[in-house]
């Protein structure tokens, strides 16, 4: 590996710091800001009279997040472990608080805060759970391979995931996914995980017939069946449920090989609702074409590859598990977001990490990156 090149002798052990990952994060954040500006400027100009409204807001938080990331990355990650239980309990408190006193936005209580300072507790839950599970798995040692060990992890995850899911289904799915990935890496067994994975894929493949049967048996509400049907055939429901998905597909399809060019999207002009949020990838497709879209995916893939390297070389299991948790988090969000935008899975609101607009999201993503960089910083280069 390039990083393990022969080192000049020094007194202090030379430590590694993953600049590749750092620059990937910087690149994605800046690219995200450009795309937010491109996709939101038209709507922002109409609504606020300021084309860069969303971009500037996001830029400030991203800058703050970046500083936070650098600070966290320079700390010893074992230190966060001490706060695991506290953060886990705080997650419950915040989630209960948000469902009681949260600010309503688009009919959903998802924001906590005073005045203009608001944040989404679900983002905090993700990072808290990653640390909590890592601590638990390390403490369990070999017990993680026993039924009790797995059960304990599940019992830790499901209640908080349930509370989150009640408020925000997609975040709940992501939290369960993170736990799944961490458990997968920690356990020696493979087949139960593959079985779950195949079951999930099978469910998607036969979603239409299964949903129809379930609806007939009165287990599924017809609006839920409706969502599945819209997913299977969005063009049949252009004005009702299929609108968002269809507008996204129009944007993606109009992109073609090289796209309309940066800033030239037409779908962002009110057709794709809140284009800077969940559907931003469709605008990337429209403006930058297949090349741009594939490049974005490749950058995420590179990022995940860096996570893998760091996890492999982490000084201990705790560090490795922290990185695996973050890796699972980002990978799941990227895959689910693109799958939703391309109508590969039914529509659910998941943001694209670093690129979609959202202050809380970018702040906590930066914190997670700080953790990963911190783990990387503990890697001793000489052996």
Partner 1 sequence: MNSNKTHHREKIALLFFLLFLAMTGLMGRLIFLMIFRSEHYSAMASDLHERERTIKAARGNIIDASGTVIATNRTVCTISVIHNQVKKPDEVVAVLSKELGLNEAEIRKKVEKYSSREIIKTNVDKAMGDQIRSYHLAGVKVDEDYKRYYPYDTLASTVLGFTGGDNQGIIGLEVKYEQYLKGLNGKILTMSDAAGIEIENEAEDRIEPIAGQDLHISLDVNIQRYCEQAAYQVMEKKGAKRVSIIIMNPQNGEIMAMVNAPEFNLNDPFTLNTTTEVPANEKEKQDLLNKMWRNPCINDTYEPGSTFKIVTAAAGLEAGVVKLTDQFSCPGFRVVEDRKIRCHKVGGHGSETFLQGMMNSCNPVLIDVGQRLGVDNYYKYFEQFGLKGKTGIDLPGEASTIMHKKEDMGLVELATVSFGQSFQITPMQLITTASSLVNGGNRITPHFGVSTVSSDGKSVHSFTYPVKEGIVSKETSETMRYILEQVVSEGSGKKAKIEGYRIGGKTATSEKLPRSLKKYISSFIGFAPADNPKVIALITIDEPQGIYYGGTIAAPVIADIFKNIFPYLGIEPEEEKTVSTFRISG
Q: Which residues contact partner 1 by CB under 8 A?
A: 42, 142, 181, 184-186, 188, 190, 197, 249-257, 266-267, 269-271, 285, 289-290, 293-294, 297, 300-301, 304-305, 308, 311-312, 316-317, 320, 324, 327-328, 331, 334-335, 338-339, 342, 344
Comparing CA positions, the residue from 131, 174, 132, 186 lying closest to residue 156 is 132
- Please say which residue, 222 or 235, places its beta carbon nearer to partner 1: 235
- Please say which residue, 289 or 359, places its beta carbon nearer to partner 1: 289
- Diameter over CA atoms, the chain: 73
Residue 238 corresponds to which tokens in the numbers above? 């252009």
Contacts of 354 (CB under 8 A, 6+ apart): 25, 28, 29, 31, 32, 362, 365
Q: Nearest 5°: CA angle at 169, between 369 and 352?
A: 40
- Please say which residue, 85 or 317, places its beta carbon nearer to partner 1: 317
To partner 1, the closest distance from the beta carbon of 94 in angstroms equals 29
To partner 1, the closest distance from the beta carbon of 143 in angstroms equals 12
Q: Is 106 left (phi over 0), alpha (psi -120 to 50) or beta?
A: left
d(C-alpha 262, C-alpha 178), whole Å: 34
- Please say which residue, 61 or 251, places its beta carbon nearer to partner 1: 251
To partner 1, the closest distance from the beta carbon of 217 in angstroms equals 32
- Please say which residue, 92 or 250, places its beta carbon nearer to partner 1: 250
- Please say which residue, 195 or 294, places its beta carbon nearer to partner 1: 294
- Please say which residue, 281 or 364, places its beta carbon nearer to partner 1: 281
- Please say which residue, 9 or 188, places its beta carbon nearer to partner 1: 188
To partner 1, the closest distance from the beta carbon of 59 in angstroms equals 25
To partner 1, the closest distance from the beta carbon of 188 in angstroms equals 6
Neighbours of 238 (CB within 10 A): 13
To partner 1, the closest distance from the beta carbon of 244 in angstroms equals 12
To partner 1, the closest distance from the beta carbon of 289 in angstroms equals 7
To partner 1, the closest distance from the beta carbon of 111 in angstroms equals 26
């Amino acid at each position: 590996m390039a990083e393990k090149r022969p080192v000049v002798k020094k007194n202090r052990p030379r430590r590694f710091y993953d600049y590749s990952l750092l620059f990937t994060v910087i690149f994605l954040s800046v690219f995200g800001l450009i795309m937010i500006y491109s996709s939101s400027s038209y709507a922002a100009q109409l609504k606020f009279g300021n084309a860069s409204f969303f971009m500037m807001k996001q830029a400030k938080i991203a800058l703050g997040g970046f500083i936070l990331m650098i600070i966290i990355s320079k700390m010893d990650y074992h230190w966060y472990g001490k706060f695991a239980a506290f953060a886990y309990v705080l997650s419950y408190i915040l989630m209960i608080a948000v469902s009681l006193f949260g600010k309503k936005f688009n009919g959903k209580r998802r924001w906590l805060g005073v005045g203009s300072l608001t944040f989404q507790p679900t983002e905090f839950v993700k990072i808290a759970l990653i640390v909590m599970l890592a601590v638990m798995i390390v403490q369990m040692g070999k017990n993680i391979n026993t039924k009790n060990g797995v059960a304990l992890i599940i019992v830790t995850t499901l209640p908080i995931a349930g509370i989150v899911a009640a408020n925000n289904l997609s975040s709940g799915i992501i939290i369960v996914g993170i736990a799944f990935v961490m458990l997968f890496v920690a356990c020696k067994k493979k087949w139960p995980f593959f079985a779950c994975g195949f079951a999930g894929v099978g469910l998607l493949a036969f979603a239409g017939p299964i949903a129809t049967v379930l609806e007939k048996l009165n287990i599924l509400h017809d609006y839920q069946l409706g969502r599945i049907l819209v997913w299977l055939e969005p063009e049949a429901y252009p004005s009702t449920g299929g609108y968002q998905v269809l507008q996204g597909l129009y944007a993606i399809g109009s992109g073609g090989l090289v796209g309309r060019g940066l800033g030239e999207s037409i779908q962002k002009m009110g057709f794709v609702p809140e284009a800077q949020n969940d559907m931003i990838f469709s605008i990337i497709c429209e403006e930058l074409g297949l090349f741009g879209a594939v490049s974005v995916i490749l950058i995420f893939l590179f990022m995940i590859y860096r996570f893998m390297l760091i996890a492999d070389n982490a000084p201990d299991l705790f560090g490795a598990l922290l990185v695996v948790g973050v890796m699972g988090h980002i990978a799941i969000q990227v895959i689910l977001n693109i799958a939703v935008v391309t109508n590969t899975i039914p529509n659910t609101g998941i943001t694209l990490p670093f690129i979609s607009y959202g202050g809380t999201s970018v702040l906590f993503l930066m914190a997670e990156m700080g953790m990963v960089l911190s783990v990387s910083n503990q890697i001793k280069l000489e052996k």
